[in-house]
Amino acid sequence: MQNLNLLSAQWVAPTVDYHGLAPELVVAGGLCLVLILDLFIDERKKWLLSIISSFTLLAAMIPVITLALSETSVRSMFGDRYVVDNFSLVMKGVFLLAGYVVVLLSSSHVEEGEYWRGEYWFLLLSSLLGMLMMTSSRDLVSIFVALEFLSIPAYMLAAWRKRDPKSNEAGVKYFMLGVFASAVMLYGMSLLYGVTNSTLLVDIAAKTTATGDFAAVQVLAVVFVIVGFAFKVSAVPFHTWAPDTYEGAPAPVTAFLSVASKAAGFVALVVLIYTAFPLAQDIWQPFIWVLSALTMTVGNVLALKQKNIVRMIAYSSISQGGFVLMPLAVAGMAGSGSSALRSVVLYMIIYAATNLGVFGVILAVSRKTRSGEVSSFGGLFSYAPTLGVLMTLFLASLAGIPPLGGWIAKFAAFQSLLQSQSTWGYALAIIGAVNSVIAFGYYGNVMREIWMRPVPDGDTTPIQIPGSLSLALGITSVATLTFGVLPGVALHFADLAEIAGAIIR
Amino acid sequence: MNMLRDNNWVLSVGTFLPILGVVVMMLMPKAQDQAVKFVALVTSIATLAVGIFTAMKFDFDQAEKMQFVAETKWISVIKSSYLIGVDGISLPLYLLSMVITLLVVIYSLNHLPNPGKPKAFFALLLVLQTGMAGTFIAQDLILFFVFFELVLLPMFFMIGVWGGEQRQYASIKFFLYTMFGSALMLVAFLALFFKTGAESFSIPYLIENGGSIAKNVQIWIFAGMFVGFAVKVPMFPFHTWLPDAHTQAPTQGSVILAAVLLKLGTYGFVRIALPILPLAAREWAPYIGGLAVIGIIYGALGCLAQSDMKRLIAFSSVAHMGFVMLGISTLTSFGINAAMFGMVAHGLITGMLFFIAGSVKERYHTLEISKIGGMLTQMPRLGWIFGFCCMASLGLPGLAGFWGEFPAILSTYNPAAGLNVTVYRVFMVIAALGTVFAAAYLLWLYQRIAFGTPKNNSHDEHSTHEELHDVTTHEWLAWSPLLIGILVLGIMPNLLFSVFDPAVQVTLSVFGG
Amino acid sequence: MFVNQFLFLAAVLFCIGVYGVVARKNAVLMLMSIEIILNSVNINLLTFALRNGSTDGHVFALYIIAVAAAEVGVGLGLVLLVYRNKKTISVDDLSEMRG
Amino acid sequence: MIAQNIGFWTIAIVMIVAALRVVTTNNVVHAALWLVVVLAGAAAQYILLAAEFVAITQVLVYIGAVMVLFLFGTMLTRARIGSESDLNNTYKKLGVPVAGLMFAAMVVALSSSFGKEKIPDSPKVISTQEVSDQIFGQYLLPFWALSFVLLAAVVGAIVLARKD
Amino acid sequence: MNLFSNADAEVLAPLTSGWFLDHAWLIPVVPAIAFALIILFGKRMPFKGSELGVLSMLASLVLSTGAGYQWIQRVNSATEEQFVDPVIKSWTWWQNAGFEFGIGQHIDGLAVLVLFVVAFISTLVQIYSLEYLRGDRRYTHFFAALTLFSGGMLAMVLADNMMLLLLGWEIMGLCSFMLIGHWWEEDVNSKAALKAFFTVRVGDVGLLVGISMLYFAANDWTRENLDVSGFSIRGISAWALSGEPNSTVIMIAAVALFIACIGKSGQFPLHTWLPDAMAGPTPVSSLLHSSTMVVAGVYLVARLYPVFFVGLDIPGGGGNLIVIIGGITIVISAALAFVQNDIKRVLAYSTVSQLGYMMLGLGAGAWMPAVFHIFTHAFFKACLFLGAGSISHSASHHSFDMKRDMGGLRKVMPITFATWIISTLALCGVFPFSGFFSKDEIIDNVGHNGYGLFMIIALIGAFMTAAYMTRATYLTFFGKPRGASAGHADHSAHDAHDAHDSHDAHASSGPHESGLLITVPLIILSVLALSSGFLNATPFGESWERMKLWVEPRHSAFAPELHHAPFMWSKALMSLAIVFLGIAVSWVLSFRLFTKRDPRLVGLTQRVKILGVGHKFLVNKYYLDDFYEKIIVRNIAGPIASAAYWINQNILDGIIHKIASSSRLISGWVYRNIDQRVVDGAVNNSASFTKSVGTAAQPSQSGKVSQYGALLFSAAGVAALVLVIINT
């Protein structure tokens, strides 16, 4: 009953480490600014909002950097419910930069379409803020709220092209499935709380195992919680929303969903696995193993059949998600924990750069072709060589071909799988290897269109690429190449990313 | 392992110089075709110059040692470093890649295949060169893998963009096969890494420590590498990408594919698979040998069935690489020497044959054997060169092909200790029969193409007799080094053997002598 | 009182909700089913709060209620949007994209 | 205890029946009304579980606000007040095995873990103050975030729902 | 212990050597250089490179003669029983992984003899070709190939190790390909070239295998005892005789090597390429069939005699692979020669048959006579070929058809006729022409060494040789001129050859004697055909056996002990009688058949009835003439020869064609079904499989939210259930 005494004591204002919260605060300030300015600003000057949004995100990078450089390596607040550690800092950086690129991708798109611009930026920043929060959340409630925080704006963004039934459909599907998944997850969380009497992950960790009196409920809880995030990372069979939503949503939003939102799901998954379920590896390892194998395979196989480029990339990103999951399937085994974490982070960093690049090119090309078909890329190289080469680089990187970023990501994933030196690890590695080959089937198909097919309607007028889009393409392509040639750069960050309080090593 | 570190900048320069050329090309304004060609030519000449400088500085008396070794941190997190060096095994192949690239560039100056686009073409060619050279100098598995894969995309595009009718199918097929192989190879590399204590990816380190891995584990790891390398070689039954790729690839692509790319696989066996996993190698050797002789006969049968000249030459590669693999499978230093020689010889000869096929295609607008005839009458020089190459390819003593073929057969008689002698002797007889087949298909090919009277019906209205010009200056420039190489190596095989041998001996020292 | 009697009630409600989302195609009805599911979770949480004697369950339940409200708002917004474009709120008809 | 048990079972049966009606009725408005019953029943259960504040919030938020939203939504989408035959999927029977599967999983887990465990006879009653202390103490940040969630939901929902 | 140093032999005279012997390696080098020069500069030279070829051959001839002279001196400086060490020089060509590949010379009596023959014949053939191929469009190439061809043969002869031997062997093969296919515009020629190269190549498998086996079997021993590699011919010889070798290994090695010889020397059953090779220009046929190429196989057996001696147990008598093959070849090919109309084909089969004699001799331990037969055969066979060429060149307008385009030429071409007759007699083995001294010795020694059955075969062969040569002579030079010889120009067949167009001018002037460049070589050769036999004229006593003295290695660790049959005039007379009988029978028959058009003979072959054979045999048994005429000759010349030819064309050749076509079929099948369908198909199928999996998985992506939800919930339920069950 010590607890009782503590609780019945006089309320004390919690201490807030404002430096630690600074990135979130900057973004929060930025989104308020956007919302307010939107009311007052002239219709013709609304482009200012995109500038503000992008600067907000860059500005938020500053505290991230100062935090990274500061002496205190781990800052925890609210009774360890909100922790700023290296992992969260790295991921915050990833989210902010990815968000920045999404803003760049969006700006011309949003200006030209009939969008609600101010609200668009507001929702985008909100979702990003949710992601930032997700990286540091270390209790169930925070995670749940952060998840909804990043999801709810995203549901609406997916439907943002209001007149387009496809976009509506995308939004509804995303929303419905998202809610189902969070319902399942909540059920799991409620059981976790019930068994462990805490929402704090580190407390949960001590009591959550696959054995003991409450084993069955714990299994159920762990599985359901993981399902919630498996949905978010669109792991098969919880992926069904992804292709439809990606296809229907506005392209920049799709880019955002496929990169940032998915990364947020992984962040939560990793945090849960490392800090909440370290002793329950018997539960989640096989589950994630199956998820990973299914995700890679089904994603790939279905991608082979796609005619729509965005839908194809959707399936591709599903399958990429399977690769990210790979190392987690053995993360609980002795000695492979830290390398699994590293490879997940690394994969997310590189995947973010590459996939955003892909969407950059898709956006640029669709400006001209107004088509989402793969065949609209026909002969791209002949009239837009730069875009053709860039798309090739990005796709090759996704396929994992050296010396582009993707290979080191896959390599690291394989490495940590094999590091476990377990049959499960080897088997999954073989499945992954086979899948990385299948994947080339559809990446190669796009390359084939770009390089070897004629221009569909013989229209070879060059493509005008707006400045912001060029900047986005530049950033992503340089990142993709650099990560490939000098993988140490990305690996350095991935290696830094340690979760405070993680028990798995 | 002993390493010499003098002049260790030359390898990096030689390898990455082409990339510099690519960058320069990329920076050039559009529609500067001549300038692009010039840059490509200068780059490849400069690269070769660096290569020759390397050869001059190479201490041939210590060919068994790694030389020009450079080591820098690269991906320290995964304990992989930028470790490069050459020894007697890699130097000739390293130089071969440079020579072939230069010749291909020269040939391409006025033989650019459709649809043109010189900038992209030469850029890919130079990237390809970097990949090939890099593979031969890499002394770190990860670095090796990166370079090994680096050649994939340029070749994919070379086939896919500049290739023949079925180019897209062929290019995808090529790519998928190789990807499949290298994916498994990567898994094997990683398994190797962890089984040796997760200390380093450096090949010398692994050679020292790989032998201590348990045998059954070695066998599995070897299996992964085997698939990776065998696809590249290509060994039966992983060969089916090759005929398509060759047939559809532009001449330049075929030449590079045959002359250098296929060697990446066999080189991988000699450099990596055998010395690091000696126990597994011994278990696998008879199977490799068996597949090799199947490849020899099978490739030959495939050749006999062809009606397309280029496809025939492609199938002959399967047979020839069978001899190379047979030599490797003996696990004797002589056999591996023969294999190394066979690699270089096959590079020169088959490369040359593909050049000829390209020129035939250019002149006759077909490669259908039945539509070509009497080449000796119409273009005597081309016909004679073709004859020379056929003879070299079928292993005529005194030409380079023989020294890859016969020693391989010879070494099969007496494989390394512990291998089943009877099985290998059977291999030997089959391989010797393969030489008969080689004679059959090559001579038959030659008879049908070069002899007889010209077939006028082969000419559609576009091609008049003026197109049937004999060998041009560019072709002479591009070909004569190969022709001279074939002859010189045939007469003085020791030029190569003396370089290979010490390094091969060292490589095989893991087998206990 | 058994812990399980509440938990089973929650489970039954949860499953009824699940049946609802699968069986219904009217978007509004699906949203209602979701509400049932979320309520079942709340029952769980409060049961455990009582069992464990801790406050966290209450807080969690409150947050869920708030979020659920937000979700219903968003959901109905989407339903209206769809209705405006397609003149139907049958989710089943929203299957233009598939495969 | 007995009174509580009687209360519980009565309410539980009502809730279950109401919930079943929600998912089976052919009238949207009826469904909404049945939902009110379920939500009210839930509030009653919360009180049984000694969570008055939550129960009140439940009534306020759900019955007060959410239900209104539902009814408005129903009206705005021009649902007929009367019964409709077009509310269910053709494959609605699929819901039975799916729900059954979930239920099986839950039953297996719950019964094997909590079995005959009882709620303590004199449970610690959580005061509303404690809840608020928590919310404004440890759970401050989610609370703060929640405000943004609601803001975003409102702004977004308005944009989506309005005509333009 | 060094068994083989000369020191521990009793008293050995120091052997002399000389510049020519020490520098014998120059002999093949000269033509090789000449070849390169012709290729590079030939077209720009006044005589288009031919002068280089002739000069190089002359130089080789001079060098060979000098070497021969010095070898004789060397032999003379040795004692009676002393083994005359060959002059061996070797250099390391390249060395690798413990394998040493050398180049060098190994010159001894055998080598000197063959060197001389090759150089001599080559020189004459080149001179002859100056005229014969004048104006040919590939004149330069022809001389280049011819020179390289001789160079290859010379290199092979001189080789001190098996690798070098193989090199020369293969160069010859290549050049034969180029030479036989010289007029490749015609399909027949290029096919013949292909066939020649390919058939020989089939045999070469044996060579490769044999060399490898010998190397590995002998290397350790030779290293230890002689400090040479297992490729060294000297080393292998000594090893074979040392008693060391495992009998199976050496037997298999010998068989393998002999397979190569079968291919190269046109032995049964690989002889079919030889007649087809007549498609080449006549000088080529002459060179190929007299002294080079086909002799290479025989030479290899003679060279590595110890291997065969031990491996096939030659001293054992009775029969072995070599004699069996040799014997079959003699008869089979002689029989075939009867039914040929093409004069060159007659000669070709005769060559095959004579090679059979050489093989028979070697196989039966008659080493010396067999080697001597190489020597004599070279002259008369070259002479015969060149004579045939002379006829076609000057009389028959490039036709070689005896029945259609020849006849009665003895008056028009007296010199050709005279040389032909001399050579024919030599070929038939008529005393005192050279063939007698070699062939008769072979027959004699075969019997003496315990191969009685084969002696009879050889005698039958001798009879047949005499008969078919008589027939050919009759058809060509006697009777009435026919076809082109009678002046009927038949252009149609040969217009395709640009090369020949230049000859039309004097071809149309009718049959005439050939020019000096042709007749002089003929005369020289015929003189040698007449006289060369006396170099080893056994009948005249030991002092005449010069060749035996100079060439035959004396018994030692390097050479097996050889026995010689004592010469007996009775045996010689018997075989002579057989030969004359053959000539006579054939003459009469030919006269009756071809000139008189005797109705009994004309069309006999069509009227043969199997039942009639026995009947006629009985009817005519008292008439010796009829006996030979009607039974033996008819049956041999008719059905048996035809059958043999039929077998040859349909079965053996057929087998080869079948093998070729069926291997083409098989390969086609393998390619279509295995490669494209199974191997490739597996890949393509796996692709389509992947896609169909995709199709199968697609329904899950129905686009309906409720179904998605159902999937989500049920997957979660299943996962939870399964994991709960597993973990509890």
Q: What's the confidence (pLDDT) of residue A57?
A: 94
Provide the number of structural domains found in chain B: 1
Question: D touches E (3+ CB pairs < 8 Å)?
Answer: yes
Q: Do C77 and D118 touch (CB under 8 A)?
A: no
Across the interface, do E712 and A238 touch by the CB < 8 Å criterion?
yes
Q: Do A180 and E712 touch (CB under 8 A)?
A: yes
Residues in chain C: 99
Residue B459, by phi and psi: left (phi above 0), alpha (psi -120 to 50) or beta? Answer: beta
Distance CA B68, CA B87 (A): 9
Q: How far, CA to CA in Å, does E498 sit from each of A10, B452, C33, E162? A: 120, 13, 98, 42
Question: What are A372's two structure tokens?
Answer: 């989402």
Amino acid at E663: S
CA distance D129 to B468: 100
Q: Mutate which of D23, D102, D114 to test chain E, going by most E C-beta atoms within 10 A?
A: D102
State the average pLDDT for chain D: 87
What are the residues facing B368 on neighbouring strands? B308
CA distances from A223 to A232, A280, C18, E682, E724 (A): 14, 11, 17, 39, 9
Chain E residues in contact with B291 by the CB 8 A cut-off are none
Per the CB < 8 Å rule, is D164 touching A162?
yes
Through-space distance between the first and last CA atoms of chain B, rounded to whole angstroms:
17
Flag whether D115 is in a domain: no
Domain that holds residue D154: 126-164
Q: Please say whether the beta carbons of E268 and E647 come within 8 A.
A: no
Per-residue model confidence as pLDDT tens digits over E509-545: 567 777 777 788 888 888 888 888 888 777 777 777 7
Does A212 touch chain E if contact means CB atoms closer than 8 Å? no
C51 to D119: CB separation less than 8 angstroms, yes or no:
yes
Cβ of C21 within 8 Å of Cβ of E709? The answer is: yes
> Of A366, A395, A382, A386, nearest to A308 (Cα)?
A366
Q: Do E700 and A240 touch (CB under 8 A)?
A: yes
Cis previous bond, B237, omega within 30: yes
Chains that touch A (3 or more CB pairs under 8 A): B, C, D, E
> Hey, is the C-beta of E192 within 8 angstroms of any chain B C-beta?
no
Tell me the residues of C at the A interface, defined by beta carbons under 8 Å apart.
Answer: 14, 17, 21, 27, 30, 34, 37-38, 40-41, 44-45, 47-48, 51-57, 59-60, 63-64, 67, 70-71, 74-75, 77-79, 81-82, 85-86, 91, 94-99
Give the pLDDT confidence of B61-114 residue by residue, as tens digits.
888 888 888 888 888 777 888 999 998 899 999 999 999 999 999 988 888 887
Distances (CA, A) of B503 to A145, B61, B271, E599: 64, 11, 10, 82
> For residues C26 and C87, is the Cβ–Cβ distance under 8 A?
no
Please name the member of E701, E706, E713 whose beta carbon is closest to the beta carbon of C91. Answer: E706
The single-letter code of the amino acid at A148 is E
The separation between CA E616 and the C-alpha centre of its own chain, rounded to angstroms, equals 40
Q: Which residue of A has its CA nearest to E690?
A: A301
CA distance linking residue E286 with residue E123, whole number of Å: 12
For B71, phi and psi rounded to 5 degrees?
A: -140, 125
Judging contacts by C-beta atoms under 8 Å, the chain B residues touching residue A448 are: 160, 168, 171-172
The domain in which residue A445 lies consists of 16-496
- Residue A2 belongs to some domain of the structure: no
**CB-neighbour burial class of residue E617 (10 A; exposed 0-12, middle 13-18, buried 19+):** middle
Residue type for C76, please?
A: L
Q: Quick check: do D and B touch, 3+ CB pairs under 8 A?
A: no
Q: Does E717 touch chain A (CB under 8 A)?
A: no
Based on the domain organization, do D131 and D76 belong to the same domain?
Answer: no
pLDDT at B62: 85
In a domain, A457, yes or no: yes
Which range of residues forms the domain containing residue B35? 9-511
* Number of domains chain D contains: 2
Q: Is residue B210 part of a domain?
A: yes
Option in A14, A116, A155 nearest D140 (CB): A14
Those residues of chain C whose CB sits closer than 8 Å to some CB in chain E are 18, 21-25, 30, 91-92, 94-99
For chain A, say whether D107 makes contact (Cβ under 8 Å).
Answer: no
Q: Chain B: residue nearest A401 by CA?
A: B149
Domain count, chain A: 1
Distance between CA atoms of D26 and D30, rounded to whole angstroms?
8
Tell if the CB–CB gap between B433 and E181 is shorter than 8 Å.
no
Contact call for D157 and A1, based on CB within 8 A: no
User: For residue E80, how many other CB atoms are within 10 A of its CB?
Assistant: 6
Indicate whether A420 belongs to any domain: yes
Q: Counting beta carbons within 10 angstroms of the beta carbon of residue E609, is it exposed (0 to 12), middle (13 to 18) or buried (19 or more)?
A: exposed
Q: What is the pLDDT of residues E630-675, one digit of tens each?
A: 444 444 444 544 454 454 445 545 555 565 566 566 666 666 666 6
Average pLDDT per run of 10 along chain A, which is 505 residues long? 52 84 94 91 85 93 92 85 91 94 89 79 94 93 94 93 89 93 94 91 86 86 93 90 91 93 94 90 91 90 86 92 92 84 92 94 87 85 88 91 87 86 87 85 86 80 87 93 86 81 66
Q: How far is CA E398 from the centre of its chain?
A: 25
Q: Cβ of E710 and D94 within 8 Å?
A: yes
Position A349 scores a pLDDT of 93
Alpha carbon of A263: minimum distance to chain C alpha carbons (Å) = 22
In angstroms, what separates the C-alpha of A104 from chain B's closest C-alpha?
Answer: 25
Domain segments of chain C: what residues? 3-90
Rounded to whole angstroms, the Cα distance separating E266 from E350 reads 11
Task: Look at residues D55, D83, D111 and tell me which one is the last residue of a structural domain.
Answer: D83
Q: Which of E163, E205, E668 comes nearest B433 by C-beta?
A: E205
According to the model, what pLDDT value does residue E141 have? 81
What are the b/e assignments for B78-107, b being 16+ CB within 10 Å? bbbbbbbbbbbbbbbbbbbbbbbbbbbbbb
| pLDDT tens per residue across span B220-247 | 999 999 999 998 888 877 887 888 888 8
Q: Say which residues have a Cβ less than 8 Å from residue A64's Cβ, sequence separation at least 6.
A: A23, A89, A92, A93, A96
Mean per-residue pLDDT, E480-491: 61
pTM of the model: 0.82
Question: Which residues between 15 and 74 in chain C have a beta carbon less than 8 angstroms from any beta carbon of chain D?
Answer: 15-29, 31-33, 35-36, 39, 42-43, 46-47, 49-51, 53-59, 61-63, 65-74
- Among D29, D62, D83, the domain boundary falls at D83
Q: What is the pLDDT of residues B253-296, one digit of tens each?
A: 999 998 899 999 999 999 999 889 988 998 899 999 999 998 88
Closest CB from C4, C27, C53 relative to D123: C53
How many CB contacts within 8 angstroms connect chain C with chain D? 258
**Cα–Cα distance between C64 and C70 in angstroms, integer?**
10
DSSP for A164-231 reads: -HHHHHHHHHHHHHHHHHHHHHHHHHHHHHHHHS--BHHHHHHH--SSSTTHHHHHHHHHHHHHHHHH
D142 within a domain of the structure (yes/no): yes
Q: Is A462 on the interface with B (CB under 8 A)?
A: no
Which of C25, C30, C97 is opposite residue E703, by nearest beta carbon?
C97
Chain A environment of B179 (Cβ under 8 Å):
399, 401, 436-437, 440
**Residue of chain E with shortest Cα separation from B373:** E185
Bridging pattern class, strands A75-77 and A82-84: antiparallel
CB-CB: which of A156, A168, A186 is closest to C85? A168
The closest of E363, E525, E593 to E457, measured between CA atoms, is E363
Q: How does the average pLDDT of chain B come out, rounded?
A: 86
Count Cβ atoms below 10 Å from residue C13 Cβ, excluding itself: 28
| A123 to chain D: closest CA residue | D152
Helices (H) and strands (E) in chain B, counts: 22, 2
What's the pLDDT band for D82 if we cut at 50, 70, 90? low
Q: How many CB atoms lie within 10 A of CB B221?
A: 24
Class of domain C3-90: mainly alpha
CA distance A453 to chain B (A): 9
pLDDT digits (tens, 9 = 90+) for D21-54: 999 988 888 899 999 999 999 999 999 888 989 9
Cα B205 from Cα B197, distance rounded (Å): 11
Residue D89 located in a structural domain: no
Q: What is chain B's Cα-based Rg?
A: 22
State the smallest CA–CA distance between residue A183 and chain C in angstroms: 6
Residue closest to E78 by CA, chosen among E547, E550, E535, E543: E550
pLDDT tens digits, E451-463? 878 888 888 888 8
Q: What is the ipTM of this complex?
A: 0.83
More confident residue, B509 or A352: A352
Q: Is the pLDDT of residue E688 over 50?
A: yes
Centroid of chain to Cα E711: 81
Give the chains touching B; criterion: ≥3 Cβ pairs < 8 Å. A, E
CA distance A190 to A182: 12
Instruction: Please check whether residue A418 touches B, CB under 8 A.
Output: yes
Cα B89 from Cα B87, distance rounded (Å): 5
- Nearest CB among D89, D94, D101 relative to E717 is that of D101
pLDDT for E624: 31
